[in-house]
Structure 1
Amino acid sequence: MDLKDWLAACPLVAILRGLKPEEALGIGEALVASGIAVLEVPLNSPSPLESIRILANRFGEDALVGAGTVTDPADCARIAGVGGRLIVTPHADPAVVRAAKAEGMICIPGFFTPGEAFALLKAGADGLKLFPAEAGSPAMLKALLAVLPKGTRVLPVGGIDAANIPAWRAAGAGGFGIGSAIYRPGDDAAAVAAKAAALRLA
């Protein structure tokens, strides 16, 4: 499946910052059971490659598992080596996009300006992460989508929760990266499942 298919099934990307490997299975089960099948473990989490390996082994083709906060192109091969199939960056670096695509991975790099967006798409990005979204607005997204190639999927990330999803959705958001509104370190599977349900409703 490509990014379009994953987001059509559910437009939410769970950003599991701070996830520990011993929690990965329980949290992953809760999310996938809730219908959220794109799971991102930021590289500034404890032992992120181990968590990605556990999630990728358990969910295989049922979830798109990968890494966030990727800033070094060389990390793409390491992430692919443990079964990761998704690369998300906090910044606009075409070199990371090219490295991810060379590994056959889906890549959603971060951007904030039209110039960054077009450079990333030229490098092969599958979608774009509008970050930090709380510094922008749904009106900004609507204006960007008017000039980006038709069908470009832009995912606001940063401060996204059940309350503001509808406004971003109305502006044309192709999906959403959800951080603390879906998982905070210390949350158990039941808490994550409850938050996931509220976000799915939104």
Structure 2
Amino acid sequence: MDLRAALTAHRLVAIVRGNDPDAALRTVLTLADEGIELIEVSLTGEGALTVVERARQTLGPDRPLGAGTVLTADDTRAAREAGADFVVTPALGEGAGAAVAAGLPVLAGVMTPTDIVTARGLGATALKIFPAAQAGGPAYLEALRGPFPHEPFVPVGGVDEAAAGAYLAAGATAVGVGSPLVGDAADGGSITGLRARARAFRAVVEEFTP
């Protein structure tokens, strides 16, 4: 898949992490049904690889589906075998390098200018500023865009609806959103609430969609 083009087109990556695999799968499918095109299943969730595999079977081969919190080469291999077609890492390390070597698009976690240069040399597709809120929020993104005006930045961590709009206005290619969007749905919570939050976030990002 062309991850950079998908990030530019859709502006939002939903991050699903839960303690109930059935609920997490239900969450992924509900988000897809609500038009959230880019969904990442964190490998730290219970039964995450099974969730990816079952979601892929239901969504079919053409729907983008990512695996997140990929740390090792084994994580990368397992994610690919389960059906993930992109990976997300919290930092630069073995998992990111293995994914690039395997031909998988990588949304690689960075924090500093040194990280950004390293990720670019590694061949990362896009750059996940993480944790974005603790790094300095939209102002930090604006500062990074001075020396790196063309890098595809995706802030993740503490991104609620207001922050999503602020990051996109500051030049983010997309935003990654976990609990402010997913809530407790992946642990068995309300699907009705999940649908409402998905629609609210879509309304925000659609203001910035080309």
How far apart, in 1, do the equivalents of 2:75 and 2:169 lie?
Answer: 35
Inter-partner Cα distance in structure 2 for 1:131 and 1:79? 21
Q: Distance in 2 between matches of 1:20 and 1:62?
A: 26
- Residues 123-173 of structure 1: CA distance to partner in whole angstroms, max 9, x if unpaired? 0100011011111221211121221262x2111101101122221111101
1:142 and 1:171 in contact (8 A); partners too: yes
Q: Percent identity?
A: 37
The aligned counterpart of 1:134 is 133
Aligned residues: 200
C-alpha spacing 1:149/1:142, structure 2 compared with 1 (3 Å): closer
Q: Can you give the 5+ residue segments of structure 2 that lack an aligned partner in the other structure?
A: 205-210
**Which residue number in structure 1 is paired with residue 157 of structure 2?**
158
Structure 1: 5+ residue runs without aligned partners?
none
Per-residue deviation, residues 98-120 of structure 1 (Å, max 9, x unmatched)? 21122221111111100011101
Asked if 1:115 corresponds to 2:104, the answer is no
Distance 1:160 1:132 in 2: 10
In 1, Cα distance between equivalents of 2:149 and 2:168: 18
Give the structure-2-normalised TM-score: 0.88
Q: Aligned-residue CA RMSD in angstroms?
A: 1.6
Aligned residue number for residue 207 of structure 2: none
CA displacement at 1:18 relative to structure 2 = 1.0
Residue identity matched to 1:164: A
Q: Residue 148 of structure 1 corresponds to which residue in structure 2?
A: 148
Following superposition of structure 1 onto structure 2, how do residues 46-125 of structure 1 map, counting pairs within 5 Å? 46-93=46-93, 95-125=94-124
C-alpha distance in 1 between matches for 2:9 and 2:25? 21
What residue is the counterpart of 2:45 in the other structure?
45
Native 8 Å contact 1:114 1:144 kept in 2 = yes
Q: How far apart are the structure 2 equivalents of 1:20 and 1:179? A: 16
The higher relative CO (CA closer than 8 Å, separation ≥ 6) is in: 2
| SS of residue matched to 2:50 | helix
Residue equivalent to 1:33 = 33
Deviation at 1:61, TM superposition (A): 3.9
Distance 2:111 2:2 in 1: 24
CA distance in 2 between counterparts of 1:60 and 1:98 reads 27
- What letter matches 2:145 in structure 1? L
- Contact 2:71 2:96 (C-alpha < 8 Å) held by counterparts: no
Determine if contact 1:108/1:126 at 8 Å carries over to the other structure: yes
State the SS of the aligned residue for 1:177: strand
Instruction: Show the counterpart of 1:169.
Output: 168
Equivalent residue, structure 2, for 1:190: 192
Q: Which deviates more, 12-21 or 132-141?
A: 12-21
Runs of 4+ in 1 over 6 A off after TM superposition: none
